[in-house]
Structure 1
Amino acid sequence: MAQSVVVQVGQCGNQVGCRFWDLALREHAAVNKKGIYDEALSSFFRNVDTRSGGDGPDIYKGKICSLKARALLIDMEEGVVNEILQGPLRDVFDSKQLITDVSGSGNNWAVGHKLYGYQYRENIVEKLRKAAEHCDCLQCFFIIHSMGGGTGSGLGTFVLNLLEDEFPEVYRFVTSVYPSGEDDVITSPYNTVLAMKELNEHADCVLPIENESLFDIVNKIHQMINSGKLGSTVKQNSLVTSSAGSAKTVQEKPFDAMNNIVANLLLNLTSSARFEGSLNMDLNEISMNLVPFPRLHYLVSSLTPLYTLADVNVPSRRLDQMFSDAFSREHQLIQADPKHSLYLACALLVRGNVQVSDLRRNIERLKPSLHFVSWNQEGWKTGLCSVPPVGHSHSLLSLANNTCVKPTFIELKDRFMKLYKKKAHLHHYLHIDGMEQSCFSEAILSLSDLIEEYNELDATKGGPRTDPSRLKIAV
C-alpha cells in the first residue's frame, strides 16, 4: 500500500489539516472496529509501539499500537499548532514533526518565502526526509495552505519548491484556499499572485478553493436544515452546525464549518488510497489522466450531497440527482460554472454502495450537456470506493479540469493591478532580502500567460484541436 504525507502550512492549513485527521480517524474507527493496524491505516498513519508506556488516540486506547499522522505541521505563529497539541488529537501528531515561530509573517508573502523559507530550510528538509523514511512506498505529498496570508502563501510555496528539489518523483497535490474579494487582508492580491507563480511552476495538481464558495455552501446547508425540506434531524455535536444539537443561524463567517468542507474534499480524494473498492483510483492517476498540459493543473472540485457535510440524518438522496448536483454551480468549491465552460477532463470519485453500471449510466446521461475538448471527448476517469462517509450511504467528488477557473484568475489579476498600479504597500515587500520589484512583474506575467492559455482553449470550443506548440503536452 502506497503512503502519503500531509504538509500543513499556516493557520488555515493547520486548521483544515486538523479537521482532516479527525474525520479520517472517525472513518477508520467505523471500519476497523478491532483497532488493528492494517494497510488502510498505513496509507496516512504510521504505527508506533506503545508497550513502553506511551498512550495512543482514544479510539485505540488499550491496544498495542499508537497511530501517528504522516504529517508535518508548520506555522510561523504558534497559536493554532499549540491549540491542536492541547486538543483531543494531541497524541496523533509527532512532536518532532512540528515547526513553529512566534512572530508570524505579517500577511507578507516575502517574509514567509524569502525570510522564513531560508531560515527554516534545513529544518524543513530534515523533517520531510524523516517523514519519507517512515514510508515503505511514498506516493504523494499533500500541501494544505491558504493564499491570502503570509505564511500559507509564502512558506507554503517555498515548501512546494523544496519538495520538487528533494523528491522530484513524488506527486505534489496542493489544496489552496483563495481569499474572497472582500478579504480583510489588504495585501492578499499580492500574496496570492506571487504564490500562483510558484503553483504554476512546481505543483502537479492544485485544488483551488474559494472562501466565498465555502461560506455560500455553509449558508445553504443551514437553510436546508432550517427549512425542514429534508425532513432532517441534526445530529448532536454536528461538525457544521457546531452547537449542541440545534442548527444556529450563521452570523459570522463559520470558519470551522468551512474548514470541514475542505477536509471532506480531502477525505473523498484520498478514500481510494485508504479503503478497498471495486474501481480504486490511485492518486497519481488523477494527475496522469486530468492534466494534459503541465501548467493547466487547476482542478475544480465539487462535493455532493451537501448534507453529508452537515451530519444530518436524512433518507438517501436519489443517486442520479447526486450526479446532476456535482455539475451545478451550487456544489462547486470555487465560484464557477463548469457545465457552461470547456472540459479538458473530468474525474468522478464515488463512495458507498454504487455500481459501475450506475456510474456509466449517469456519465452517458450527462455527456450531451457538457462541453469537452474535441480531442478528448472520452476524457472521464472514475473511481469507486466501497466505504461511504460515516453515517451516509454514498457521496461523490467531482474533479474537473475546466476553463471555468479562468474568471477566478482574471478577477485576481484585476485586484492585483489595482494595488500594483499605485505601488501600494510595495515597500513592505521590497525591504526583505532577496525580494525585488521584478518578482511582482514576473508573477503577474505568469498569471497573464495562464489566463491566455485558458483563452486559447476556450476559443476552440466546438472547433478543431488546439495547436500543442502553444500548450505543451504533459509527459
Structure 2
Amino acid sequence: MAQSVVVQVGQCGNQIGRCFWDLALREHAAVNKKGIYDDSLRNFFRNVDTRGNDDGIDISRGKICSLKARAVLIDMEEGVVNEILQGPLKDIFDSKQLVTNVSGSGNNWAVGYKVFGSQYRDQIVEKLRQTAEHCDCLQCFFIIHSMGGGTGSGLGTFVLNLLEDEFPEVYRFVTSVFPSGEDDVITSPYNSVLAMKELNEHADCVLPIENESLFDIVSKINHMVTSGKPGTTVKPESLVTLNEGGIKKKLQEKPFDTMNNIVGNLLLNLTRLDQMFSDAFSKDHQLIQADPKHSLYLACALLVRGNVQISDLRRNIERLKSSLHFVSWNQEGWKTSLCSVPPVGHSHSLLALANNTCVKPTFIGLKNRFSRLYKKKAHLHHYLQVDGMEENCFIEAVSSLSSLIESYNELDVTKGFPVHDQLRLNIVI
C-alpha cells in the first residue's frame, strides 16, 4: 500500500493541515466502526505500539497503540503549531515531527528561503527522512503553504527544493494559497512571484487556490444554510463545517476556519448529482477566480465519491464534452476515479482537477501587482539586505512567470480564444 507524507509550512499551511487531519480521522471513524488499522488509514497514518512496535496492529484486539500522522509541521512562528499540539489532534503529532522558531519571517520570501532555509536545512531533512523511513512505499509528498507571507512562500519553496534533492523519485504535489488583490501583506506580490518561479521549476503538480474564491464559496454555503432549499441544505455533520456550535454561527463568526475546511476537503459543491457535474465546470465553483468552461483544457480528472455509478459518470462526461474546449492533441484527456464511500454528511461529492488556461488571469494579476511595487523599488531593501539575495532574483522570477503566462497564451492562440495585448509584451519593470 502506497503512503503519502504531508508537509505543512507556515501559518496558513498548518491551519489547513489541522483541518485536513481532523477530516481524515472523522471520515475513517464514520466508516471503520471497529477501529481497525487498515489500508486507508495506513496511507496517511502509522500505528505505533507504545511498547515499541510499529505498524500492522489491530486496534480491535485491545493492544496498546497510537496513531501518528505522516506529517512534518514547519513554522517560524510557533503559535499555530502550539495550538495544534494543545488541541484535539495533539496525540497524533510529536516533537520529532516539528520544526519551529519564534521570530517569523517578517513577510519576506528571502528571509524564509535564504535565512531560515539555510539555518534549518539539516533539521528539516532529518525530519523528512524520519517520516519517510516509516513508509513501506512512499508515493508522494503533499506540501501545503501560502504564497503571500514569508515562511509559507520562502521556506515552503525551499522545502520543495529539498524534496527534489533528497527524494527525486517521489512526486511533489503542492497546494498553494494565492493572496487576493487586496491582501493585507503589502509585499505579497514579491513573495508570490519569487515563490512561483520555484513552483514552476520544482513541483510536479500545483493546486492553486485563491482566498477570494474561498470567501465566495463560504457565502454560497451560508446562503444554502439559511435558504433551506431541498437538496442543498448542509447537514450538521458535514465535514465542510467545524466541530462545535451551530452551522450558521460557525459560518458567520469563523469564516477562515470554514475556508480552511473547504481546502482540506477540496470540496467544490454540495448539490444534487447531475447538477454537481455541471457545477464542477462553472466559474462559481472554482477555488480560483476563473471560468474554465470558456477557456482551453489540457487535461481533466474527475474524482467521484458516494452512490454514483460508472454510467452516471460517462453520461455526464458525454453531456458536457461538447461545451468544453480541449487541446487538439488531447481531445480525450479525461481521467476518472470512483470511490463508493461518500464524505461524512453527504451522499456524494465530486472533485474536478484540471489544467486549464483560465488560470492565466490569476498569474497576470499577480505580475501586474508585482510590477507596480517593483517599479517604485518599494520595500526592496528588506529583501536585498538578506545574504545571498540579489536584485537579479526578482528579474529571473518575473521572467519565469511571464514565460508561464506566454505558454498558456500560445495555447489559447491556437484555439482562437481572445488574447489580451499585454500578454504579447515582455514585462517592463
Which amino acid in structure 1 is aligned with residue 269 of structure 2? P
Specify the alignment match of 1:50 in structure 2.
50
Specify the alignment match of 1:200 in structure 2.
200
Moved more, 318-327 or 16-25: 318-327
Q: Against the structure 1 CA distance between its residues 113 and 122, is the aligned structure 2 distance closer, same or farther, given a 3 Å change threshold?
A: same
Q: Against the structure 1 CA distance between its residues 61 and 245, is the aligned structure 2 distance closer, same or farther, given a 3 Å change threshold?
A: farther
CA contact (8 A) 2:238 2:346 kept: no
Give the Cα separation in 2 of the matches to 1:105 and 1:25. Answer: 32
Specify the alignment match of 1:271 in structure 2.
none
CA contact (8 A) 1:69 1:94 kept: no
CA contact (8 A) 1:193 1:443 kept: yes
The 5-angstrom pairing of residues 362-401 of structure 1 reads 362-401=316-355
Give the Cα separation in 2 of the matches to 1:257 and 1:157. Answer: 26
| Matching of residue 331 in structure 1 with residue 285 in structure 2 | yes
| Matching of residue 182 in structure 1 with residue 136 in structure 2 | no
Q: SS at the partner of 1:217?
A: helix
Q: SS at the partner of 2:415?
A: coil
CA contact (8 A) 2:23 2:239 kept: no
Specify the alignment match of 1:68 in structure 2.
68
Q: Report Cα offsets for 1:206-240 as digits up to 9, x if no partner.
A: 00000000011001110111122247375279853
Q: Against the structure 1 CA distance between its residues 435 and 31, is the aligned structure 2 distance closer, same or farther, given a 3 Å change threshold?
A: same
Q: CA deviation at 1:61?
A: 12
CA contact (8 A) 2:107 2:187 kept: yes
| Matching of residue 402 in structure 1 with residue 356 in structure 2 | yes
Q: CA deviation at 1:28?
A: 1.0
CA contact (8 A) 1:154 1:195 kept: yes
Which amino acid in structure 2 is aligned with residue 166 of structure 1? E
Q: SS at the partner of 2:193?
A: helix
Which amino acid in structure 1 is aligned with residue 92 of structure 2? V
**Partner residue of 2:294 out of 329, 340, 346:** 340
Query: Normalising to structure 1: TM-score of the pair?
Result: 0.83
Q: SS at the partner of 2:297?
A: strand
Q: CA deviation at 1:249?
A: 8.4
Specify the alignment match of 1:284 in structure 2.
none
Q: Report Cα offsets for 1:85-134 as digits up to 9, x if no partner.
A: 00010001132110000000000000000000000000001111111100
How many residue pairs end up in the alignment? 412
Moved more, 199-208 or 237-246: 237-246
Q: Against the structure 1 CA distance between its residues 41 and 238, is the aligned structure 2 distance closer, same or farther, given a 3 Å change threshold?
A: closer
Which amino acid in structure 2 is aligned with residue 111 of structure 1? V
Give the Cα separation in 2 of the matches to 1:47 and 1:238. Answer: 24
The 5-angstrom pairing of residues 149-168 of structure 1 reads 149-168=149-168
CA contact (8 A) 1:350 1:395 kept: yes
Specify the alignment match of 1:128 in structure 2.
128
Give the Cα separation in 2 of the matches to 1:405 and 1:305. Answer: 20
Give the Cα separation in 1 of the matches to 2:259 and 2:378. Answer: 31
Identity of aligned residues (%): 82
Give the Cα separation in 1 of the matches to 2:224 and 2:244. Answer: 16
Give the Cα separation in 2 of the matches to 1:420 and 1:252. Answer: 37
Give the Cα separation in 2 of the matches to 1:153 and 1:159. Answer: 10
Q: Which runs of 5+ in 1 are unaligned?
A: 54-58, 266-302, 307-316, 464-475
Q: Against the structure 1 CA distance between its residues 237 and 393, is the aligned structure 2 distance closer, same or farther, given a 3 Å change threshold?
A: closer
Specify the alignment match of 2:407 in structure 1.
453
Which amino acid in structure 1 is aligned with residue 408 of structure 2? Y
Query: Normalising to structure 2: TM-score of the pair?
Result: 0.92
Q: CA deviation at 1:250?
A: 5.7
Specify the alignment match of 2:310 in structure 1.
356
Specify the alignment match of 1:109 in structure 2.
109
| Matching of residue 84 in structure 1 with residue 84 in structure 2 | yes
Specify the alignment match of 1:466 in structure 2.
none
Q: Report Cα offsets for 1:163-183 as digits up to 9, x if no partner.
A: 000000000000000000110
CA contact (8 A) 2:145 2:175 kept: yes
CA contact (8 A) 2:108 2:149 kept: yes
Q: CA RMSD for the aligned pairs?
A: 2.1
The 5-angstrom pairing of residues 310-329 of structure 1 reads 317-329=271-283
